[in-house]
Structure formats: C-alpha cells, structure tokens
Amino acid sequence: MENLIEKIISLNGKTAVITGGSSGIGAATARLLSQAGAGVVILDINQDQGETTASNIRDNGGVARFYACDITDETQVKTAAAFVKKTYQTLDILFNNAGVIVRKNVIDLEESEWDAVVDVSLKGTFLVSKHMIPLMKANGGSVINTGSGWSLKAGENAAAYCAAKAGVLNLTRAMAIDFGKYNIRVNCVCPGDTDTNLLRSEARQLGEDETVFLKQASARPLGRMGTPDDIAKSVLFLACPLSEWISGTSLLVDGGGLA
C-alpha cells in the first residue's frame, strides 16, 4: 500500500518549472514538489527572494535553481527555456503561477495598469507555455496554470485581474485540447484568498485596514484563509499521476468560499 501511494504521488526524476516561485504560492509549491522528488527551476523577477527560496530547498536536500526571468518579455523567456533544455533536456511539470493585481474598476484603471496585470497573468502564461511546452512533447507532462476564484466569477474593483484570470482558464482549456495528443495535461488551479504578499497588497490598495481585510477574507465555510501550502498540495495533485486522466479543468481551492 505504501509503495502504491508513493508511486502515484512521487515526482522522482521529474523536472518542474515554477513561475513566480520566489514567494507565496509559488515558493510553497517549489518546496512541496521538491519534497515529492522533483528538481525545480524557479523563474521570477525577485532575485533575492528567489535565490533564498532555492537555497533553502537545497539546504533541505532538494534540487532547486533560481533563474531571473520577467515572463512578460519573450527574449527572457526564450533564454530561460534554453537554460532548462541545456540543464535538464526535457521538462515534466510547468506551473504558470506568477501574477500581480491592481484593485481598480475600468474607469479608474490606467492603461499601463491594465497591461501590467494582463501581461503577467495571461501573456506570461502564453509566453512561458510557448517556449517550455516543446520540452514536454517527447515524454508528456503536466501544465498547471494559476487562475483564481475570479476566473469563475468576478469581484469588485478588480477589472483587469478578473479579465486576465478568466482568460487564463479558457487558455487552459484551449491548451488541453491542443496538447493532449502529446500526453500533456493542462489544468487550472483557482485559489481563493490565500495569505501572501499579493493578498495583503490588496488591503493597502483599497485603503483598508489589513487586519479587517484578512478577517473578511477568512469568512468562508471552512472559516479561514488559505495558506500557500493549501494551494501547493492541489498543484502537487495536478502534477502527479493521481490526476493522470484529468485535463482541461479547473480546481477551485477556496475553503468553500465560492459555494
């Protein structure tokens, strides 16, 4: 029994690329996938935090590298993909996770703010997939895109974010259709409010007291916010053979919030 469980959640010998892996959900996922046996490559613009996350994983016996990459810049993404190819030859898991949020409605949003949000979540997912999926074609693999509860419904003063995250979900379906023939599965994890820098930045942007904001974020059936580890576990599920016949779908991980 133990062997069977190990076999279906093990990522031994696998390589995973994680965008936005320096902090929050991405860093927790880098740690968990590494504990499951994968070698992880963190792509992020936050070099200091990314190097620290990778070195903590190595200190705990894992294999992790940080590679500085702005995923909105195709030249940088191409260089990162060449690095992965040179280092590992193939890729098994891609977690498209980097994201930013601006809490404004369409009247108040600046064009540059719209571009920043849509470019990281949606265009970044496109660019990284475009250059990393070719490394998966020989052996198959799993792509996990990060949506949000706001991929499935919308929220107040988050117009660009809601549009981008809904786009990520339908891009997920389109990619699942296109790459199933290579045994590449593509799914979307949709977190609810999870305690990270991004969530706390929303309180500041909205001019709300952080403690009150976080308390409101905890008001859901399971009575608490998510932790980055909660989301990392669902990414591990979508990455490993437990989910081998799951593709083109969304997994809402939100403590019952949307219910």
Q: Which residues bind ligand NAD (CB under 6 A)?
A: 19-20, 22-26, 44-46, 70-72, 97-100, 120-121, 124, 146, 148, 191, 193-194, 196-199
What is the rounded end-to-end Cα distance, in angstroms, of the chain?
Answer: 34
Could you tell me if 111 and 150 are in contact, meaning their C-beta atoms sit under 8 angstroms apart?
A: no
Smallest distance from ligand NAD to CB 2, Å? 32
Q: Considering beta carbons, is residue 72 or 247 the nearer one to ligand NAD?
A: 72
Smallest distance from ligand NAD to CB 129, Å? 14
Could you tell me if 134 and 193 are in contact, meaning their C-beta atoms sit under 8 angstroms apart?
A: no
d(CA 158, CA 93): 30
Tokens representing 258 are 């949307």
Per the annotation, the verdict on 182 as an active-site residue is: no
Smallest distance from ligand NAD to CB 25, Å? 4
Could you tell me if 168 and 147 are in contact, meaning their C-beta atoms sit under 8 angstroms apart?
A: yes
Smallest distance from ligand NAD to CB 24, Å? 2
Q: Considering beta carbons, is residue 13 or 223 the nearer one to ligand NAD?
A: 223
Smallest distance from ligand NAD to CB 48, Å? 10
d(CA 37, CA 126): 27
Q: Considering beta carbons, is residue 146 or 247 the nearer one to ligand NAD?
A: 146
Q: Considering beta carbons, is residue 63 or 198 the nearer one to ligand NAD?
A: 198
Q: Considering beta carbons, is residue 62 or 257 the nearer one to ligand NAD?
A: 257
Tell me the helices (H) and strands (E) count for the chain, helix number first: 10, 7
Annotated catalytic residue within 67, 88, 161, 182: 161
Spatial CB neighbours of 103, under 8 Å, sequence gap ≥ 6: 157, 158, 161, 202, 205, 206
d(CA 31, CA 36): 9
* Type of residue found at 46: N
Could you tell me if 187 and 129 are in contact, meaning their C-beta atoms sit under 8 angstroms apart?
A: no
Catalytic residues: 161
